[in-house]
A and B are shown apart, each in its own frame.
Chain A
Amino acid sequence: MAVRKLAPEDMQPQSFVLSPETEAFADKEIAKYPPGRQASAVIALLGKAQEQAGGWLPRKAIEAVAAKLDMAVIRVMEVATFYTMFNLEPVGKYFIQFCGTTPCVLRGAGDIRKVLESRVGEQNHVSADGAFSWLEVECLGACSNAPMVQINDDYYEDLTTENFEKLLDDLAAGRPVKTGSQIGRIRSEPFEAVNTLQDPTLYDGSLVGAWRKRFDEQAKAAETGENAAAMASVPQEAKAAKPTAGRAIESPVADTPAARAKEGETPINPADRKEAADPSTATKGKSHTEEGARPAPQSSKSYVASPTKDGEAVPNSPTTPEAGTPPAQAETRRDGSESKPGVTVDKDNMTS
């Protein structure tokens, strides 16, 4: 999320008065809630005030809304700063919200971004003529028509470098533009040939309950024995309402010694037995004395090395530096790299 802040003082208008239209809208919104609950209308009012102020919320507009709703200004401020749809800094006449989420990026949003950068300039800045400003936003929910942008209240979809340039030219020149898809398709119908949803049975009602019938048939086929083997993996009491499609089907672990014994086989496979007896592959048992001679297991995070059983310090982690060693070279110096193995630590601060 881009860093949001209040517009600087010199951009703020001196005053802001709710227009009669906004007032009327406000009264209508407030009337939706029980008496005393007028604060519930805060989002609607902020939206309307933003519309009135030209796409953004000056500080005075926030105060005007607070006064209208009899709320503390800080409470309205909390709402205005929480929702990213409230712009707190001035925006261009055409405020472009550019979708930079994965589906759009996969379909070429990167090129659209380049167009924006070259034509409009830096994000969150109004272009010199005041016509455009743009902001990268998260998914606007028109992924099937990616890449897309929202300009003021409308979506512009299926953008390419060319048609987006043209769109911006048209907007700047005040020519009428087409909203929605820029390549002529209707809403999100298939990109090329329109060949889905054309089966007439979809619309004559014959498919109602079809899935139920299919499951019933399958269950019947399982009972006839002929297909029993084929259907062995289907649970015996298949619940028709809960098809198992896509679920992992649990079956008993087949190859265990107990299962084999039950079926009259040798509990342990002779081949396995032979392999296990091979001394070359066997794990060697460790003698207890060897284990005891090792240093005590020690956390790499401990500041004090724990001593071994016979009182000596652990040899490979000295706890006191040798006399005369500069602190930067001392073995004991800890710099955090111990606990963050993936991070290179510049001990002597040479790089910066």
Chain B
Amino acid sequence: MAKIIVDGVEVDVPAEYTLLQAAEAAGAEIPRFCYHERLSIAGNCRMCLVEVKGAPKPVASCAWGVRDCRPGPNGEPPEVSTKSPTVKKAREGVMEFLLINHPLDCPICDQGGQCDLQDQAMAYGVDTSRFHENKRAVTDKYLGPLVRTSMNRCIHCTRCVRFSAEVAGVPDLGALWRGEDMEITSYLEKALGSELQANVADLCPVGALTHKPEAFHYRPWELTKTDSVDVMDAVGSAIRVDSRGREVMRILPRVNEAVNEEWITDKTRQIVDGLRLQRLDRPFVRENGRLRPASWQEAFATIASRVKGTDTKRIGAIVGDLAAVEEMYALKLLMESLGVTNIDARQDGSVLTPVYGRGSYLFNTTISGIEDADAILIVGSNPRIEASLVNVRIRKRWRAAPPPIAMIGEHADLTYPYEYLGAGPETLSELTAGRHSFMEKLRGAERPLIIVGQGALSRPDGLAVLSTVAQLARDVGAVKDGWNGFSVLHTAASRVGALDLGLVPGEWGLNAQTMAQGEVDVLFNLGADEIDIAPGTFVIYQGTHGDRGAHRADVILPAATYTEKSGTYVNTEGRVQLANRAAFAPGEAREDWAILRALSDVLGHRLPFDSLNALRAKLYAAYPHFAAVETVQPADGFAAIQALANIGGTLGREPFVSPVKDFYLTNPIARASGVMAECSALARELKLEAAE
């Protein structure tokens, strides 16, 4: 720790802090454009100038370390002034230079109202220009369907360049030419190839890079901001949903150090138009092979008449990937009261069950825990498309000091180098038997991390694979006091919550695959769109979009998406998080729990709650850990890993294949989105190009 005096306030900060960080610790605000906490330091905007006592000139506080400051003549701590007239004059000078080439187009700029340059010009700008020459003009660049450019506005902070090279790991952007001719562009103006590219528009302190799909749609001050969580993958990124009236206008990342830091994927951000398109806004009933609009009463009556005449052994329920804990709990209670045991939330055929303890299906290491791992093995997963922000963490760990990383599964570009061991279970058993050099690295590691993905578990021999991975984890000491390196990576936002609730087939119950093959007569489908249901079954689909599930349905109950209801989601770590309502569901669509409550009344098994609060009270009484929002209840790792290791079983020969075929089209909301369709087509094109 080092002492430093900032504006007369003495603070004690770590010596490796920069002056900017020290000033913030002392409560002084430093304006900046190029500096960003999560990117390397460039020091090129010069806005953060401060005065250091004894230094002949103002210094850039973002690039000057506390340890680089000289003490006073009698050993006093170094003194920094952030508000002196010199500093103000220096910053005004910098601002004048920045504004020399910056167009005065704030009224037509999408960044207006949320612009760092605009804000700081209020504090350090002057009202006129002394620059009589022409401003420079730069041609706009094509950077793909998500980022719109207006390069006249660029102030060359290079945050976008640093983000794509450092965090996203896809070095597409660069600063070409030099001096006044400097331009930010991608090589030959190709579209950006990262699944995190839209973050560059968030990072841009001016309006040079803005979000293309949202261009000219709103002003930031018109929007109502709602904190929520994302359900596009099982990471549960913290987001802010901005809405105007009934419509969601945009989705922004929120800072959550434990989960997404401050990034979100393009899918999380740009499915906004999918929330609006292809929506189910009224109930439908199939008559003579065609769906026709119906009233809620009609729809419920049709269901009731079918359910009453059916043996409970021939009734089933499957749950999709976007369901919140509340409706899954309501469905579970409803099915229990009907005496139905055919219930399953694993439409992809995953073998995870709560039987072996909570530690058997959580990402026990936690996402921030990845940064402590010193050897990483990925089995049957492509984290880059299954959970991009987990991949960002692994990349962050790799950048800090490369640990040995290895992968069994599909060979893919993960943005960091890794040792490719093999494609399938054979390699896994080879590794377990110690016939592979990577085993030594795992054994030698203090905190080994083994990530097992759905590609290894959603298959007939999934349980054997899980067991083998557990044995491996036990052998290398991945589970010990203070460290649990056995982690399951999920792809569905609802999955961990469903497993916590025990939404797996009960005694003699059928699993989702069997139910879909026509083993039940009445199937209640709560938003499961990734499963093909055999003809003959009477399907009740409760969901939001006219997607696969709705096309197969006999009765459609229109429901609310994650932005239109208050719902609990549990992410892959087991972190309980709340999504909040930002807008209302369209037309007659209702919140899911309310639909189930109304249906239960018609079926003669009224659920014991009349409000969301009553439902939650019951839920929390039965499952107390759901009440602990924002936290992870650690699971018993030892017991889980023992139980799993003891299952045994024979491994198959098929290679592991990631369940995510197309990153941009994994769920009904994304499939309804035009922006996602464009991104998907472009990604395919880039892939073909790379294959050539």
- Chain A contact residues, CB within 8 Å of chain B: 1, 3-4, 72-75, 77-78, 81-82, 301, 339-340, 342-343
Contacts and interface: CB of A to CB of B under 8 A. Distances in A.
A83 to B, nearest CB: 8
Contacts of A74: 171-174, 186-187
B477 to A, nearest CB: 31
Q: Which of A74, A78, A301, A340 has the most CB of B within 10 A?
A: A74
A72 B188 CA distance: 13
Contact of B178 (A3, A73, A81, A343): A81
Interface in B249-283: none
B132 A342 contact: yes
Contacts of A342: 132
A81 B176 contact: yes
Q: Which of B127, B129, B165, B176 has the most CB of A within 10 A?
A: B176
Q: Which of B129, B177, B186 has the most CB of A within 10 A?
A: B177
Interface in B418-475: none
B128 interface: yes
A77 B187 contact: yes
Interface of B: 127-129, 132, 165, 171-179, 181, 186-187
The 5 A-B residue pairs whose C-beta atoms are closest, nearest first, are A74-B174, A72-B171, A74-B187, A81-B176, A339-B128
A111 to B, nearest CB: 30
A75 B164 CA distance: 12
B63 to A, nearest CB: 20
Contacts of A72: 165, 171-172, 174, 187
B171 A75 contact: yes
A4 B177 contact: yes
Contacts of B165: 72
Contacts of B178: 81-82
Nearest to B185: A74
Contacts of A82: 176-178
A163 B36 CA distance: 58
Nearest to B173: A74
B187 A73 contact: yes
B104 to A, nearest CB: 12
B181 A1 contact: yes
Nearest to B175: A78
Given A72-B172, A75-B174, 4 more contacts: A4-B177, A74-B171, A77-B174, A343-B132
20 contacts: A1-B181, A4-B181, A72-B172, A72-B174, A73-B187, A74-B171, A74-B173, A74-B174, A74-B186, A74-B187, A77-B174, A77-B176, A78-B174, A81-B176, A81-B177, A82-B178, A339-B128, A340-B132, A342-B132, A343-B132
A339 B132 CA distance: 10
A1 B215 CA distance: 36
Contact of B128 (A77, A78, A81, A301): A301
A4 B171 CA distance: 23
Nearest to A66: B187
A343 B177 CA distance: 32
Contacts of A339: 128-129
A140 to B, nearest CB: 19
Contacts of B127: 301
A8 to B, nearest CB: 13
Nearest to A63: B187
Nearest to B126: A301
B143 to A, nearest CB: 12
Nearest to B187: A74
A15 to B, nearest CB: 14
Nearest to A84: B178
Q: Which of B172, B178, B187 has the most CB of A within 10 A?
A: B187
A301 B187 CA distance: 44
B193 to A, nearest CB: 11
A3 B181 contact: yes
A1 B172 contact: no
Contacts of B173: 74
Contacts of B177: 4, 81-82
Contacts of B181: 1, 3-4
A340 B171 CA distance: 44
A13 B171 CA distance: 25
A340 B131 CA distance: 9
A3 B172 CA distance: 24
A3 B179 CA distance: 12
A1 B165 CA distance: 29
B285 to A, nearest CB: 56
